[in-house]
Structure 1
Amino acid sequence: MTAQDLPLPHSSAPGARGFDQVETWVFDLDNTLYPAQHDLWGQIDARMRDYIAGLLNISREEAFARQKDYYRRYGTSLRGLMIEHGIDAHAFLDHVHEVDLSTLEPSPRLAAALEGLPGTKLVYTNGSERHALNVLGKLGLDTHFSAIHDIVAAEFHPKPTEEAYLRFLRAHGVEPTRAAMFEDLARNLEVPHRLGMTTILVVPPTEQIESRESWEFEGREAAFVDHVTEDLAGFLETLGG
């Protein structure tokens, strides 16, 4: 597959890695397998803020600033809270993932596109397995993935750290040069690309999502991003075809 083969709204970098060798397809969960416009992350964001405010007895504004600082420095707010405050990670995950999924609907088009991909499909998330199962169930995608690799399986080493990816690759026997990674955050593709994976950045049609920080959208033009798409199902249909 070359840049010329991909119709809009997809684009590929000059010299981008292709897909002929790919036998393992790795997908992030939130804002990747469902459109960011559903803004489940906004709910999760708010619950993290409230958890931190209660834990540290600070205002919600202070908690939000602390949360984003930990997120940027440690990869996840959870990792920062574990290192800085020794919190119970499981209690935190249970709290922040109690979100309303009613806006999610089955996605038969995406399900069919996933079915058309040859090889193994995996979900790799910095969230919890329980959250992933709930989301995949709502989307009607729960039968299309061989495994979910969550933050617990990663022993709380989050993307984008190299240690996290190496643990993932070992756990599932993935050969990175024969794998593709789909992510909504460019920074989470830098290490996979360096390890040999084909990288695909999934972005919303409009990149103005209120609950996201501006720095989270940085890196779209980076050399470690092989392909960019605003339409995951359409992109996969092209590959399956």
Structure 2
Amino acid sequence: MSPDLSHIDTWLFDLDNTLYPEESGFMRQVESRMTAFVMKVTGLERDAAFALQKKYLAEHGLTLGGLMRHHGVEPADFHALFHDLSLDALAHDPELLVALARLPGRRLIFTNADDFHAERVLNHLGLTHLFDEVFHIHSFGFAPKPDPLGFLRMIEGHGLDPAATAFFEDSERNLKPAHDLGMTTVLVGPRASASEAPFVHHRTAHLTPFLNHARLRETA
């Protein structure tokens, strides 16, 4: 059945592993550099640094949150790690461009990354012109998804009506606050079909066909 999104006029998208497939492997580059940075900051061996990285992610929503709180890391130093990553793994997808362009209303990015990374990836994918704004980690004052405060700041900052907003994410846990606020939630990626979370309304392995088959509101 076609997903009914005819009540939606605001389209909210996570960036990494959502607007490009997880299978690209791009985020493995990000994760590897992050682990190396944790090793440098803490003096831990790689396995222990990786475990701490994941612990901070679970506890703070971001590895950066733990590094800031417990090690005095400056956000700018952390984000600079990823500003020269090769984007060769990310392929331009003309079909996705068409699918996004048919969505009526506003399209926004909601990412835990910084503005430089988001703009760089969107430009490489050829998607920049399709989005009205990027709500990034600095925009919501380092209250990262899934912190409800970040969602509230995003809603207030853009005057969103949660009941008319669809949120697309590859991270299941990031969809819960969106659901609790009244948004329609869509889990994207290879693990989506296995999700049984009651706060996930729709699940799809691939974003483009889901958007192409969705029922949208009619425009004049």
Tell me the TM-score normalised to structure 1 length.
0.85
Equivalent residue, structure 2, for 1:234 = 209
Partner of residue 55 from structure 1, selected from 27, 41, 57: 41
User: What percent of counterpart residues are identical?
Assistant: 39
Q: How does 1:191-210 map to 2 (within 5 A)?
A: 191-204=177-190, 207=191
- Between the aligned partners of 2:172 and 2:43, the Cα distance in structure 1 is 34
Equivalent residue, structure 2, for 1:109 = 95
User: For the aligned residues, what is the CA RMSD?
Assistant: 1.7
- Between the aligned partners of 1:110 and 1:218, the Cα distance in structure 2 is 20
Equivalent residue, structure 1, for 2:146 = 160
- Between the aligned partners of 2:25 and 2:165, the Cα distance in structure 1 is 28
Q: Which runs of 5+ in 2 are unaligned?
A: none
SS at match of 2:70: helix
Q: Which runs of 5+ in 1 are unaligned?
A: 7-17, 208-216
- Between the aligned partners of 1:66 and 1:98, the Cα distance in structure 2 is 24
- Give CA deviations for 1:133-183 in whole Å, capped at 9, x if unaligned: 111112111110000011111111110011111111111111111100000
- Between the aligned partners of 1:68 and 1:99, the Cα distance in structure 2 is 21
Residues 117 and 239, structure 1, Cα contact 8 Å, conserved in 2 = no
1:67 aligns to 2:53 (yes or no): yes
Residues 117 and 240, structure 1, Cα contact 8 Å, conserved in 2 = no
Equivalent residue, structure 2, for 1:224 = 199
Equivalent residue, structure 2, for 1:31 = 17
Residues 116 and 240, structure 1, Cα contact 8 Å, conserved in 2 = no
Residues 167 and 183, structure 2, Cα contact 8 Å, conserved in 1 = yes
Q: How far 1:123 sits from its partner (Å)?
A: 0.5
- Between the aligned partners of 1:225 and 1:94, the Cα distance in structure 2 is 33
- Give CA deviations for 1:8-32 in whole Å, capped at 9, x if unaligned: xxxxxxxxxx422211000000100
Residues 187 and 203, structure 2, Cα contact 8 Å, conserved in 1 = yes
Q: How far 1:132 sits from its partner (Å)?
A: 1.1
- Between the aligned partners of 2:49 and 2:83, the Cα distance in structure 1 is 18
The one-letter amino acid of 1:126's match is: N
Tell me the TM-score normalised to structure 2 length.
0.93
Q: How does 1:65-104 map to 2 (within 5 A)?
A: 65-104=51-90
The one-letter amino acid of 2:145's match is: K
